[in-house]
Structure 1
Amino acid sequence: MPNKEQVSSLQIAFMIMLFEIGSTPLFLLGGTAKQDSWLAMCTGSAAGFILLLLLMWIQWRSPGTDLIGMLKLHFGKLPGAVIGGVYSLYFAYQSMRNVRDLGELTAMTMLPRTPMSVTMLVFVLLALYAIWKGAEVVFRLPEVLLPVMLVFYILLVIMLGIMGAIDFGRLSPVLGGGLMPVIEAALPEIVSFPFGQMIVFLMLWSLWEKPGLPVKYTVNAYLLISLFLIFMNALNVAVLGPAIAGISQLPFLKTVRTLSNLKFVERLDILVTAQLFVGLLIKMMIFYFCSVKAMAGLTGKPAKWWVFPVGAVIYGASFLERDYTQHIAIGLGPSLKLDPVFQVAIPLLLAVSIWVRGRFGRSGNF
C-alpha cells in the first residue's frame, strides 16, 4: 500500500469494534457451557486480551512495519516470504468464509430465490471497490456504520426489556457444571474466534497516522467490544434459554423474533439481518484487504495489482463447501484447530526472535 495512506486513532478503534462484532452474533459461542456460555466468553476475551498485549508488543518493537515486513526481517527473507505467503492465503481463506456466511444468510433470510452465486459476487465486488480505493476509504466505513449499528442494537435490547422477554434467571445456576466446561468451551475456540483474529491488525497498525502504536484506543476498543459481545451472548440465553439458543442457527435473529407480538413495528428480523450484513461485510473486507496488502508486500508490486486476483480466489473458494452444514462444521471444527498456529504460535516465535535480537543487539532497529 502507498505510504501516504494513513488512518486515525478513532478509525482504528472503530474498525477493531466493528471487526470483532463481525459474524459473532451468528452463533452462540461457548454453547457447550450452556447457561455459562457468557462466562466462556469472559474467559475467551481475557485470554484474547493477553494475546492482544503480545501483538501490541510485537508492533511496538517494529514501528512502521507490517506483519510481512516483520516476518522477512526476523525469520530471513526467504523463510519470511514463505510464511508471509501462507498468511496471505490464510487471510483470503478467512475472507472466503465470511463471503459464504453472507451468501447463506441472504438465502435464509431475505432473498431465498436469488442464487447465492449472485449475492456473493455482489458482496465481493463491493469489497473490491473499497479496497481498490485504498485504506482511507476502507477505514472510513466504520465511522459511519458502527454508531448506526450500536444504536439499533440498543433499541432492540430496550424493546426486549419492555416486552419482558429477558429472563436472566435462565443464566442460573452459575457454574452449575463446574469450571471445566467453561474453560473447555473458551479454549481454544472462543480465543480463536473472534478474539484471536486481532492478528490482522499486525497488518493494519502500521497505517496509523502517527509514529508508534495507538495503545489507548486499541485497548479501549477491545475492552468495550468484549463487554458488548459478552452481554449479547448472555442476552440470547436469557431470552431463548440455553437449550434453544445452543441449537439455533441464528440465535440473535430468533431472539428478536420473540418481539413479533409488538403491534407498532414489524419485520424486525430485516433490521437484524442488515446489522449482520454490515458486520460480515466489514470482516470479509478486512481479511481481503490484508491478503492484498500481504501480496503487495511480498512482491513489491502495487496493491492494485492484486485486488482482482485475490478477489477472484476468494469468490471461487466460497463454492468449495457443498452446503451450510459443511461450512459450519469446517469453520467450527478443523478451521478453529488450525487458527492457533497463525494467531498464537507464529506470533510467539516472532516475539521471541524480536526479543533475542534486541537483547543481544543484533538488529539496529531496536
Structure 2
Amino acid sequence: MEKAKITPGQLFILIFLFELGSALLIPLGLSAKKDAWLAILLGMGGGLCLFLIYQALYNYYPDILPTTYMQEITGKVLGKLLAFLYLIYFLYIAARVLRDFGEMLVTFAYDETPLFIINALLLFCIVYTVHKGIEVLARTGELLFVLLYFLAVIGFVLVVVSGLIELNNLQPVLEEGIGPVIKTVVTETWYIPFGEVVVFTMIFPYLNRPKHVKAAGLTGIALSGLNIVITMAVNISVLSYELVSRSQFPLLNTIQAIEVAEFLERLDVFFMIALITGGFFKIGLYFYAALIGTADLFKVNGLSRLIYPLGLVVLFSSMTIASSYSEHIQEGTQFVPLYMHLPFQVIIPALLLLIAVIKNRKKQRL
C-alpha cells in the first residue's frame, strides 16, 4: 500500500463518479423495456446490500488489502489464487470500459481516428493520474464532481424546457408484470453498475476515518443510483423505448434533441465532457485497484514498476476483447454478468464474509 489517506467525503465522490461512469453511456435494463428505470432502482437496492457485505469484510480487516486478507481467510494457496483472479477481473473490466468510451468518441467526434489511438490517449491520461496516487485521484474527483453535477442539472433543465419529455412513453408501468423487471435485476442491473463497487474494497484501507465508510458508501451508491434512474427515465420519455433500444448511446441522442428558442442546440459536446469524466474515474479506479493489488500480491516495491506494463495490458485488451462494438455489447450483456460479475461481486465476497465470521467467533471463544 502507498502511504496515503483519503477522507470520507472523497470516498463518497469517488463512488459517485465511478457508479455514473459507463452507466450513463450505455443503455441499462432494457430487457425490462419501459420499466428499465424500475429495474435500475431495484438493482440499486441490491447494490446497497452488496456494499454492506464489502463493508463488513473491511471491518474485520481494516488495515490490509483484500489480496492479503483473502489469504488469511481461505489459506495461502486458495487466497492467492482468488486474489490473482480478482486482479484479472479488475483489468478486464477496465479494458471493457475503455472500449466503451473509445467507441463513443470514435462514433460521435473522431470518426476518422483509429480506435487504438483514442484508447491510448485516454489511457495515458489515466495512467498519469494513477501514477500520482490515490490522493491525487481523489482531489481530482473533488474538482470534477462539481462540473459533472452542474452539467447534469443544466442538461435536465434544458430537456424539460425544450418540451421533449413525453411521460406517455413510460406508460403503462409494469405492462408485462414484475417478472421481466426482476429478471433484468438478477441478470444485469444488480451488477452493473452497483455491484461493481466491489473495487472499492481495495480503496477502503486508505480511509482516514474508517467509521465513516458505511455512510459515505451507501450515500454515494444511493445518489448515483437515483441519477441513473432519472437519466434512463428521461431517455425513454424523450426518445421512446424503441429508439433507446436501437441506440448505442441514448443519453447523447437525448442531448442532441435539445433545442431551445431555435438558438440553444448541439450541446452534446458539453455532455461528452461529463461522460468522459465519469469514464475516466471508472477506468482509473479499476486500474488503480489492479495496480496496488498486483504490488501487494507479488510483493513489488514501487508502483512505477508495474504501472506501464499493466497499462499496456489494459490498452491491448480493450482492442482484442471483441472484433466489433456489437460483439462487445453482446458479450457484456450475456457473458460478463453471470460468469464474471456474479461470482466476483456476490458469491465470493459472501463466502469470504461467512468464513470470516466463523473464524472470528472461534477466536473470541478461545
Q: Same fold (TM over 0.5)?
A: yes
Q: Distance in 2 between matches of 1:122 and 1:297?
A: 28
Q: Distance in 2 between matches of 1:212 and 1:295?
A: 27
Question: Which residues of structure 1 form unaligned runs of 5+?
Answer: none
Aligned residues: 363
**Residue matched to 1:344:** 346
Alpha-carbon distance change, 363 to 275 in structure 1, aligned in 2, over 3 angstroms: farther
Question: What are the superposed Cα offsets for residues 67-123 of structure 1, whole Å, 9 maximum, x if unpaired?
Answer: 112211111122211111111111000110111112111110111111111111111
Question: What are the superposed Cα offsets for residues 118-166 of structure 1, whole Å, 9 maximum, x if unpaired?
Answer: 1111111111111111111111121011111111111111111111111
8 A contact 1:236–1:252 mirrored in 2:
yes
2:85 aligned with 1:86, yes or no? yes
Q: Distance in 2 between matches of 1:194 and 1:25?
A: 10
Alpha-carbon distance change, 269 to 355 in structure 1, aligned in 2, over 3 angstroms: same
**Residue matched to 2:159:** 160
Alignment of 1:21-170 (within 5 A): 21-170=20-169
Amino acid of the structure 1 residue aligned with 2:284: M
Question: What are the superposed Cα offsets for residues 334-356 of structure 1, whole Å, 9 maximum, x if unpaired?
Answer: 11122111001110111011111
**Residue matched to 2:330:** 329
8 A contact 1:167–1:238 mirrored in 2:
yes
SS of the equivalent of 1:175 reads coil
Give how far 1:265 is off: 2.5
8 A contact 2:256–2:265 mirrored in 1:
no
8 A contact 1:63–1:213 mirrored in 2:
no
8 A contact 1:121–1:315 mirrored in 2:
yes
Amino acid of the structure 2 residue aligned with 1:64: D
Give how far 1:288 is off: 0.6
Question: Which residues of structure 2 form unaligned runs of 5+?
Answer: none
User: Which ranges of 4 or more aligned residues in structure 1 deviate by more than 6 Å?
Assistant: none
Q: Distance in 2 between matches of 1:129 and 1:363?
A: 49
Q: Distance in 2 between matches of 1:171 and 1:103?
A: 31
2:359 aligned with 1:357, yes or no? yes
Alpha-carbon distance change, 53 to 42 in structure 1, aligned in 2, over 3 angstroms: same
8 A contact 1:28–1:245 mirrored in 2:
yes
Amino acid of the structure 2 residue aligned with 1:346: I
Give how far 1:260 is off: 4.0
8 A contact 1:295–1:303 mirrored in 2:
no
Give how far 1:297 is off: 0.8
Q: Distance in 2 between matches of 1:213 and 1:357?
A: 25
**Residue matched to 1:175:** 174
Amino acid of the structure 1 residue aligned with 2:31: T
More deviation, 263-272/81-90: 263-272
Q: Distance in 1 between matches of 2:223 and 2:260?
A: 32
TM-score, normalised relative to structure 2: 0.96
8 A contact 1:109–1:273 mirrored in 2:
no
**Residue matched to 1:307:** 307
Identity %: 28
Alpha-carbon distance change, 266 to 239 in structure 1, aligned in 2, over 3 angstroms: closer
Q: Distance in 1 between matches of 2:347 and 2:184?
A: 20
TM-score, normalised relative to structure 1: 0.96
Cα RMSD between the aligned structures?
Answer: 1.5
Give how far 1:210 is off: 2.5
